[in-house]
Homo-oligomer: A and B are copies of this chain.
Amino acid sequence: MSKLLEDAVGELSKLPGIGRRTAMRLALHLLRMEAADVGVMTGALDRFRNNIRYCSLCNNLSDEEICPVCADQTRDRNTVCVVEQVSDVLSIENTRQYRGLYHVLGGVISPMQGIGPSDLKIDLLLDNVRRGVIREVILAIGTTVEGETTQFYIARRLAEVEGIKVTTIARGIGFGDEIEYADELTIAHAIHNRTIVK
């Protein structure tokens, strides 16, 4: 087998969710692309890996010292939404419903994986909150055991700070989901926290 092909396939199959068969398919696809376009792609990946930074205020990915959200003076600086990871920011931004700031933890507390509170950007969040402009902290963290632990820990830390509201995003049956297939905890929670229609 060609060494060049072997190297390309070997490297691609190091990516998560990409086995050797998929890696082979991707490598052969590169041959159908213009060489210049492959260069554009690999260049974008190298630039991303080498030049990306973390926003010094919210820990989101950023091209500059301060990310576009934190730098945007039209955003609501009284509200901060705490999320686990960068992709959560994008999911929420895509809704176009939220105009506050974000805070990216960079993970959740997981004793199994050796991730403690000090490995997450929780102190930075507390610093931001204590600076005194934030009035509400929305906790938008996943409902795994680790997520719940993290949420509990952050809520307790925030309890020390006077004059701020702490909320969590609503749990319930998702749009398009069938009640039949929802788990009991979710259904119980959805009934308990029902909203008034009329």
Whether the pair B15, A48 counts as a contact (CB closer than 8 A) is no
Q: Which A residues between 85 and 111 are near B, CB-CB below 8 angstroms?
A: 85-87, 90, 93
Partner of A4, one of B7, B29, B33, B48: B48
Question: Which chain B residues lie closer than 8 Å to A2 at the CB level?
Answer: 52, 60-63, 67-68
Residue of B nearest to A52 (CB): B4
Whether the pair B11, A44 counts as a contact (CB closer than 8 A) is yes
Q: Which A residues between 37 and 96 are near B, CB-CB below 8 angstroms?
A: 38-52, 60-63, 67-68, 85-87, 90, 93
Alpha-carbon separation in the docked complex, A48 to B10 (Å): 12
Residue of B nearest to A38 (CB): B49
Q: Which A residues between 8 and 42 are near B, CB-CB below 8 angstroms?
A: 8, 10-12, 14-17, 22, 24-31, 33, 35, 38-42
Residue of B nearest to A48 (CB): B8
Whether A39 touches B28, Cβ cut-off 8 Å, given contacts A63-B2, A68-B1, is no
A188 at the interface (CB under 8 A from B): no
Determine the interface band of chain A, counting residues with CB < 8 A from chain B: 35 or more
Alpha-carbon separation in the docked complex, A17 to B24 (Å): 13
A198 at the interface (CB under 8 A from B): no
A3 at the interface (CB under 8 A from B): yes
Partner of A44, one of B7, B41, B60, B90: B7
Whether the pair A5, B35 counts as a contact (CB closer than 8 A) is no
